[in-house]
Copies of this chain bind each other. A is one copy, B any other.
Amino acid sequence: MARPDAFEIVLSRAFTRIVGRGTPPQLAAALRHAVFPGGARVRPRLLLAVAQAAGARDLSAARHGGVAVELVHCASLVHDDMPCFDNAPIRRGRAAVHAKFGEATAVLVGDGLIVGAFDVLARACIDDPRLLPALPVLAQASGAAGGLVAGQAWEAEPSPDVARYHRAKTGGLFEAATVIGAIAAGVEPEPWRAVGAAFGEAYQIADDLLDLVGTPTELGKPVGQDIVHARPSAAIELGLERAWARLDDVLQRMRGAIPPCADADALHRWLDEACARLFPARRLQPCTGDALTRDDATATALSM
């Protein structure tokens, strides 16, 4: 196992305060199950890459911003897997929180992680008040008016607004990651929003594609769920060929959206690596087997 890096250390420490001596033991175990071991931590890593590219000298504020974003993401996965939503028994290749700890605990784990996210970010703001604008950015990306909560709710609406649904369900937290990264670096944040929006759009298209052509082992969760739950899917709407082309377009738009900054080259290198890892090679046949090949493994992070 690799040694934990600086981000994982900050996440661990923050988690230890969120889950303190006053936490009931079953709840504490369930909270830990929801956060560790994590997936690829894509959102905080994007946030940190933006903060570095934008010239942040000290990454402490960015790391705490990243922890907050990751905790909100983990909360959304826990609630989304519940029987009243996707009823998914498996997440990250292990039992989902509700399957292992029960529905009541799953509700509370999500609640506790949302509260914990704002707690971490608020404490970071007390240390460095320049981070304060990150709080409403995180709230916007998480909440009922166009954030993650809205995204999950669109799935249950009789007439979902598909563009709003995708932006809320996936794009919002990636946008928040780039905006908060810029805030942590002390630069004008809004120009960075388009980078996160495009990254999120690409991520959503890749997720839709892998739901059709991926395997459960790759994804750490069941495939074919978009059809089962009648969820809007770019891969189903456009067909595989055009969806792959759309993914390429969006990734190109993302690169073009990077504003002038202290170290754009480093960000492009980070994106090269992240894209190679997250966005799988073009595959035009649904994959029905479940063998874990070496190449397939690189896509595992997508579900995480």
Q: List 14 A-B contacts (CB under 8 A).
A: A18-B145, A21-B145, A24-B153, A24-B156, A27-B144, A79-B111, A110-B111, A112-B144, A114-B114, A118-B118, A118-B122, A118-B135, A125-B135, A126-B136
Residues of B within 8 A of A154 (CB): 24
The answer to whether A144 and B28 touch across the interface, beta carbons within 8 angstroms, is: yes
Contact indicator per residue, chain A 26-56, by CB within 8 Å of chain B (1) or not (0): 1110010000000000000000000000000
Quick check: A146 and B20 within 8 Å, CB to CB?
yes
The count of identical subunits is: 2
- Size bracket of the A interface: 35 or more
> Contact residues of A with B, CB < 8 Å?
17-28, 31, 75, 79, 82, 84-85, 102-105, 107-108, 110-112, 114-116, 118-119, 122-123, 125-126, 129, 132-133, 135-136, 139-140, 142-147, 149-150, 152-154, 156-158, 160-161, 164, 168
Partner pick for A145 among B22, B129, B153, B160, CB 8 A cutoff: B22
- Determine whether the beta carbon of B115 is less than 8 Å from that of A17: no
Residues of B within 8 A of A160 (CB): 24
In the assembled complex, the CB of A116 is this many whole angstroms from the nearest CB of chain B, namely 6
Contact (Cβ within 8 A) A135 B112 = no
Measured CA separation A88–B209 after assembly (Å): 41
Given A26-B156, A118-B122, A119-B139: 13 more A-B contacts, CB < 8 Å: A19-B145, A22-B145, A22-B146, A23-B144, A23-B145, A24-B150, A24-B157, A79-B111, A111-B111, A111-B149, A112-B150, A119-B136, A126-B132
Task: Name the residue on B nearest A134 (C-beta).
Answer: B122
Contact between chains at A149 and B118 (CB < 8 Å): no
Minimum CB–CB distance for A109 against chain B, Å: 8
Is the CB–CB distance between A25 and B157 below 8 Å?
yes
